Structure 1
Amino acid sequence: MIHTRSVGGAAAVAGALALALTHAPAVPAAQAADGPAWGDCPGEPQRGVYCATLDVPLDHTDPGAGTIELTLSITGRGDAPRTLVVNPGGPGAPGIGTERQVWSSLPPEVSEEYNVVSFDPRGVGASTPLECGDADGEPRRPAPPYEPGSEAEETERLDAARQVAAECGAEGAELLPHLTTENAARDLELIRAELGQDRLDFLGYSYGTRLGTTYATLFPERTGRMVLDSVRDPEDGSWEAQFKQNDAFQHRAGQFFAWAAEHDDSYGLGTDEQAVTETWDATREELAREPAGGRAGSAELDDMLASAMYTDASWPNLAGAVAAHRDGESGRLLAAVDQLAEQGVDTTLLAYTCTDDAWPTAWDTWREATAASAEGAPHFAWLNTWYSAPCVFWEEPAGEPVEIGSEELPPMLLVHAADDPATPLAGAERMREALPESRLVVVDSGNHGQFLFEVNDCVDDLGFRYLLTGELPESGTTCEGGPAPTP
């Protein structure tokens, strides 16, 4: 699947998250005698941010089978009565750093009420990490086109997918079976208890909404206030969701092409959506034949397009880079390719994705479904399939995900952009049905991640009021989106 690796860290959404600190923590987090031993964080120190470690069972069904380590991070005023635990998405994205972004974006009346905690989930970052050997390295550039033009190109990508699965299976054999959303949710319950909170107050983005609602389903009596933003469909497994994403991304790309047409005087890509689409596809074909700088081919252009669909703040840079390339200057295009290449294969994301849900194990099934999807989503169907293709060969059998929903769950606030490509709106609507006391606020936008990250007073004020009072908006509440970006 095409995922945001996190709302706070992915290149796909980096433009939306360049948050200025509005106020800094005044004091270190309170050091409870029986709570976490807060100290310095790994890496470069951040003023007012502290870290601690927590041992959790490797296997929650067999606590005697050993433990792994989670790393938590906290910021706030120290004596706040509540704690908001944040997950930025993924799955399998590091959370350390998100706490500072979130807390610094809260108004004083909310930040006085809440400390903010994040964590690197099991298998990730500063927690006990998943090791996948050479699979964690950077892919070669240029990559072969996503849509195979020959049997050799298809075989090359299949071999790469098979190698990732094999190396993760060999290097991460002990940890891999236990990288599931259910285990991560049970980790959350231990984090809540370690923080000394009666209930878990939670802010989750994208995959974080699946993590949060899994926790709530397992521990309804311990669930506090939850803000769920860019909501995952509670009914679809990753296989089904992948193909729904394709259509949603293609729709969002149409909006980008139409926007570029409105600014043809700046970019010269075409005067209407169809003309820009044709220019884009001609550029793809040219790059497939002769990659820019020897490393920016059609697959790299597709990667950049997919990344830019998460936030329209990225649109001017992408349109400008392509326009400059067409004028003979490829420096901006190559810089973007180099940034994407640094990310490499996200093996932890794959570990959760391939292990949480069942995937077809016959490549012919994938090929047929992808070819059918590509008829309506030509820019994304094959790209999305190759992202997930290691799941064809995953050595660890998939588990049974928790069925989301319970009549016992407290009211939650769901926030969702109408044209979100990564988590289509229909899934958020089904989540609202699964959480009968919840409210869904729909924003007239396509940007993935709204609360705190879009500077939208309508959305933010609803979230702040809910966190402070537990009060939800009326059913059917909507918010306007932000203005379209300027060239």
Structure 2
Amino acid sequence: MPQSLTPLPLRTLPLRTVAALFATGLLLAGCAGSHPTGAHPAAGPAAPAPLQPLPAAVPAELTPYYTQRLSWQPCDNGFQCATVKVPLDYAHPTAGDLTLGAVRRPADGAGGAPRTGSLLLNPGGPGGSAVEYAEAVASSYPPEVRAGYDLVGLDPRGVGRSSPVSCLSGDRMDAFTAVTPAPHDQHEIDQLIAADREFADGCAQHSGALLGHVSTVESARDMDVLRAVLGDDKLNYVGKSYGTLLGATYAGLFPSRVGRMVLDGAMDPALDAVTGNRAQAGGFETAWSSFAKDCGSRTDCPLGTDEQQAGRQLDALLGSLDAHPLPGAGARKLTEALGVTGVLAAMYAPPAWPQLRSALAAARAGDGSSLLRLSDAYYERAADGSYRNLMFANAAVDCLDLPPAFNSPAEVAKALPQFQQASPHFGTDLAWMGLSCAYWPVKATGAPHTIRAAGAAPIVVVGTTRDPATPYAWARSLAGQLESGRLVTYDGDGHTAYGRHDDCVDSAVNRYLVEGQPPADGLRCS
């Protein structure tokens, strides 16, 4: 998995991609401790500065955007489609527009339920299509939620149907994703840097000025334009993974406009890229440990009967792919990079573990096609060799939101021991992934910060104790930063918790969305 496609800093496998894994036989969705009730610790002296709210009044130059009328047209499966105009640059609103794509499924009013308003959904990424996510999951939302809410998906700027970022052709992406993620010598380091530079140059060539305006702050401001044109006084929102950063950012900018907000699989905005990447490496290590223990208890486990043996077998298999790639599909080979990506992709959800066991068994027998399919699903590579824009947008947002984790191979080498300690199996790969933004054509506009959202309505933050991509400590931190944060803990495996058939989590979130009654801070589910 090349650096620019890092799942870090905490940009995770979007639910749309998880759905794709289910289509291949996997799934469909989205460090214990508790956050003491009412306890929101103050930031320490070295803590980043808090995100400051914007003025409550809409600036005059933005009025045309806030007062536009949407033309909703019937589209697929009972949804309506529309486009929304937003400024390319909020600092210079007259300099040009972006067109964002949106869908909604109107509230069905079942049982005579009154309309509550709109409920904006976001699956994460960054780069996951909220439009496709809403279309995929709307029918699975509880009847009482569908009765009162219009379910809405807005592709963030640079994503999907919203002025998408573009970078490389399919064949060049194939080459890019196959480059070894953990170079063993100077030649491989040079190959990795060349691949990162080609990717960055392609984004600059094909996306131009857009690359400087796809930040999380700008996307959060777009959400407020959508709220207004939908006719809602408050923004009701369910965000997963990176969608939690987007939602929390909205709350920090517009605290008085927060309605019922759920942030599931939370990111911590206070972390710099190095700290976030290292923590996520530890998250994947924790998930691997759970998988290995489960695998060892099953008769079809191809890696042995205990966690240590499984780890040795995994390292040997992935290490052998550098010099000896396995046959994959057609002329494509399973390289070390693609093998690592396939394993990490399956860590996002326990329903993927049976397919990973089968894929690892096939790879040990000389067939890399199953691990390659897992990797392709992660990257959203179609059978015809084309790639969706997920990974282009992912890199564009990541590199704009935070300064690079590392600026040179020497900096990566210095940090390797800490990454390897956090994750003996994946730390080296994830450390090198942190180099990609060093070659980005646009300087980062964001920096680590805390989010207080003073005066906001209760915000429900959900964390899973063994989440691979968004470590549980991040949920505790975000809930602690938010003045009105309510932490719900799911003691279990996998990425995100709401909608994964845990009655405790689902009941608490549904009651909040339908009745406006937030769960008690510190609720623990298992």
Same fold (TM over 0.5): yes
Shift in Å, 1:117: 0.2
- Alignment equivalent of 1:258, drawn from 270, 284, 293: 293
Contact (CA 8 Å) 2:343, 2:371: kept in 1 or not? no
CA distance in structure 2 between the partners assigned to 1:363 and 1:327 by the alignment = 35
1:473 aligns with 2:484: no
In structure 2, the partner of 1:17 is 28
CA distance in structure 1 between the partners assigned to 2:177 and 2:164 by the alignment = 29
1:4 aligns with 2:42: no
In the TM superposition, what whole-angstrom CA distance separates every residue of 1:145-200 from its partner, at most 9, and x where no partner exists? 32212211111011111121222223322111111011001000000001000100
Contact (CA 8 Å) 2:181, 2:433: kept in 1 or not? no
- Alignment equivalent of 1:50, drawn from 59, 80, 83: 80
CA distance in structure 1 between the partners assigned to 2:182 and 2:17 by the alignment = 28
CA distance in structure 1 between the partners assigned to 2:433 and 2:171 by the alignment = 14
Shift in Å, 1:328: 5.0
Which amino acid in 2 is paired with 1:232? Answer: M
In structure 2, the partner of 1:363 is 409
Contact (CA 8 Å) 1:58, 1:66: kept in 2 or not? yes
Could you say if the C-alpha distance between residues 206 and 18 of structure 1 is closer, same or farther in structure 2, counting changes exceeding 3 Å?
closer
In structure 2, the partner of 1:77 is 107
CA distance in structure 1 between the partners assigned to 2:325 and 2:278 by the alignment = 28
In structure 2, the partner of 1:225 is 260
Shift in Å, 1:445: 1.2
Consecutive unaligned residues of structure 2, counting only runs of 5 or more, are 1-5, 31-66, 110-114, 382-386
In structure 2, the partner of 1:418 is 465
In structure 2, the partner of 1:28 is none
1:275 aligns with 2:306: no
Report matched runs for 1:138-153 at 5 Å. 138-140=173-175, 143-153=178-188
Which amino acid in 2 is paired with 1:410? Answer: A
Contact (CA 8 Å) 2:13, 2:124: kept in 1 or not? yes
Could you say if the C-alpha distance between residues 371 and 399 of structure 1 is closer, same or farther in structure 2, counting changes exceeding 3 Å?
same
CA distance in structure 2 between the partners assigned to 1:329 and 1:399 by the alignment = 44
Consecutive unaligned residues of structure 1, counting only runs of 5 or more, are 20-32, 481-487
- Alignment equivalent of 1:162, drawn from 186, 192, 197: 197
CA distance in structure 2 between the partners assigned to 1:142 and 1:58 by the alignment = 30
Q: What SS does the corresponding residue of 2:118 show, helix, strand or coil? A: strand
Contact (CA 8 Å) 2:104, 2:153: kept in 1 or not? yes
In structure 1, the partner of 2:57 is none
Report matched runs for 1:396-475 at 5 Å. 396-401=442-447, 403-452=450-499, 454-475=500-521
Could you say if the C-alpha distance between residues 163 and 268 of structure 1 is closer, same or farther in structure 2, counting changes exceeding 3 Å?
closer
Report matched runs for 1:166-177 at 5 Å. 166-177=201-212
Contact (CA 8 Å) 2:121, 2:238: kept in 1 or not? yes
Contact (CA 8 Å) 1:35, 1:196: kept in 2 or not? no
Which amino acid in 1 is paired with 2:321? Answer: L
Report matched runs for 1:199-238 at 5 Å. 199-238=234-273
Q: What SS does the corresponding residue of 1:83 show, helix, strand or coil? A: strand
CA distance in structure 1 between the partners assigned to 2:177 and 2:408 by the alignment = 27
Q: What SS does the corresponding residue of 2:130 show, helix, strand or coil? A: coil
The Cα RMSD (Å) is 2.4
CA distance in structure 1 between the partners assigned to 2:80 and 2:171 by the alignment = 28
Shift in Å, 1:120: 1.1
Could you say if the C-alpha distance between residues 133 and 270 of structure 1 is closer, same or farther in structure 2, counting changes exceeding 3 Å?
closer
Contact (CA 8 Å) 1:139, 1:341: kept in 2 or not? no
Q: Which 10-residue stretch deviates more, 9-18 or 94-103? A: 9-18
Contact (CA 8 Å) 2:15, 2:123: kept in 1 or not? yes
CA distance in structure 2 between the partners assigned to 1:161 and 1:141 by the alignment = 8
Could you say if the C-alpha distance between residues 169 and 447 of structure 1 is closer, same or farther in structure 2, counting changes exceeding 3 Å?
same
Contact (CA 8 Å) 1:135, 1:347: kept in 2 or not? no
Q: Which has the higher contact order (CA 8 A, sep 6+)?
A: 2
Shift in Å, 1:108: 2.1
- Alignment equivalent of 2:319, drawn from 285, 298, 301: 285
Q: Which 10-residue stretch deviates more, 339-348 or 392-401? A: 339-348
In structure 2, the partner of 1:22 is none
Shift in Å, 1:244: 0.8
Q: What SS does the corresponding residue of 1:443 show, helix, strand or coil? A: strand
Contact (CA 8 Å) 1:7, 1:13: kept in 2 or not? no
Which amino acid in 2 is paired with 1:432? Answer: A
Which amino acid in 1 is paired with 2:403? Answer: A
In structure 2, the partner of 1:483 is none
In structure 2, the partner of 1:64 is 94
CA distance in structure 1 between the partners assigned to 2:378 and 2:141 by the alignment = 31
- Alignment equivalent of 2:334, drawn from 296, 303, 308: 296
CA distance in structure 2 between the partners assigned to 1:12 and 1:390 by the alignment = 26
Could you say if the C-alpha distance between residues 234 and 84 of structure 1 is closer, same or farther in structure 2, counting changes exceeding 3 Å?
same
Q: What SS does the corresponding residue of 2:493 show, helix, strand or coil? A: coil
Which amino acid in 2 is paired with 1:382? Answer: T
In structure 2, the partner of 1:24 is none
Shift in Å, 1:134: 4.2
In the TM superposition, what whole-angstrom CA distance separates every residue of 1:43-94 from its partner, at most 9, and x where no partner exists? xxx3111210011000011111111100111013366331100111011321
Which amino acid in 1 is paired with 2:393? Answer: T
